[in-house]
Amino acid sequence: MKLGNSSKLGLLLLMAPLLIWLFALILLPHVDMFFLSIREKVAPRVYQTSMANYMEFFNEPLYWNTFARTAVMSILTTAITLLIAFPISYYIAKMLKGRMKAFLFVLCLLPFWVSELVRTFGWMILLRETGIVSSTLQWMGVVDGPIEFLYTDATILVGLVYSSMLFMVVPLVSTLESLDDSYIEAGYDLGGNGFTVLREVVIPHAMPGIVSGCIVVFMLSLGNYLTPVLLGGKDSLWFTEQIYAQFITRFNWEQGAAFGFLLLILSSLIVWAGLKLSRQTLSETMG
């Protein structure tokens, strides 16, 4: 199509908000952050380009331990969320019909509408030393004194899995719904049992949903700040806390920018690998 001058102008006007948004708020800030991260302060107000901030990350065990720990915990969160959510999604997609199905699906979305802060607060009330779980256990006579359930790795996982559930259930339910019942029946007719049908028919079909759910859950856990800080306490050692500390507490922006970049690289690698594995593109997954 050949554009006249006036429609060219119109197109430019329509494009202006997009370009301003993407360049001023996404692209340039990240480029700027990259240049900050490769800058080293050698004297007051004197800087030179170097990889010192990245070297610092590899030389200081605390930093890369925290980084690795955050990654491992996020992988655990993703795996647990998938294991819990898969049977639930299958139940909603394949075992229920009509009203009940719609109702349970909406119920799954419910916690998403409530602020993450409120959800985490709920877990704090349940799990702290004077909390409901501890009090109930004492009342039942299972334990003698109060127990502190907060500030352990397991608590962080409970909180993260809880917050992530929705992002796994929604893609799983929608892919499982698109699986025709007759395929499952055919699997049984050909002599398969529950397990083989699950492995050969259901899971391969649900793979795109599994992958997009896992990508989102992993990314959100990696970038989470609230849950590790509130449920994990001082020793939660989450990488986002390091970034916050460098920026706000120590005012070492160069170091913080380097940390931010490392986290961004890890998160992008995982997204990229997930998309490659499932042979999907970002546009398909989102649209």
Residues contacting residue 169 through CB under 8 Å, at least 6 positions apart? 85, 88, 89, 92, 108, 213
What residue has token string 């120590």? 250
Q: Report the alpha-carbon distance of residue 171 to residue 220 in Å, rounded.
A: 15
196-225: contacts with another protein (CB under 8 A):
215, 219-220, 222-225
Helix ranges restricted to H, 47-152: 52-59, 61-90, 98-113, 116-127, 132-140
Query: Is residue 282 involved in binding another protein (CB under 8 A)?
Result: yes
Asked if residue 125 lies in contact with residue 206, where contact means CB atoms within 8 angstroms, the answer is no
Kindly indicate which of the ranges 50-58, 101-109, 170-178, 206-214 contains the residues binding another protein, using the contact rule CB under 8 A: 101-109
Residue closest to 239 by CA, chosen among 225, 218, 253, 258: 225
The pair of structure tokens assigned to 213 is: 């759910």
Q: Which is nearer to another protein, 197 or 210 (CB)?
A: 197
Q: Which is nearer to another protein, 78 or 224 (CB)?
A: 224
Query: Is residue 150 involved in binding another protein (CB under 8 A)?
Result: no
Longest Cα pair distance anywhere in the chain, in angstroms?
83
Query: Is residue 231 involved in binding another protein (CB under 8 A)?
Result: no
Question: Whole-number minimum distance, CB 273 to another protein, in Å?
Answer: 13
Q: Which is nearer to another protein, 138 or 152 (CB)?
A: 138
R_g (Cα) of the chain, nearest Å: 24
Q: Which of 75, 96, 207, 245 binds another protein (CB under 8 A)?
A: 96
156-175: contacts with another protein (CB under 8 A):
162, 165
Q: Which of 121, 199, 273, 277 binds another protein (CB under 8 A)?
A: 121
232-261: contacts with another protein (CB under 8 A):
240, 243-244, 247-248, 253, 256-257, 260
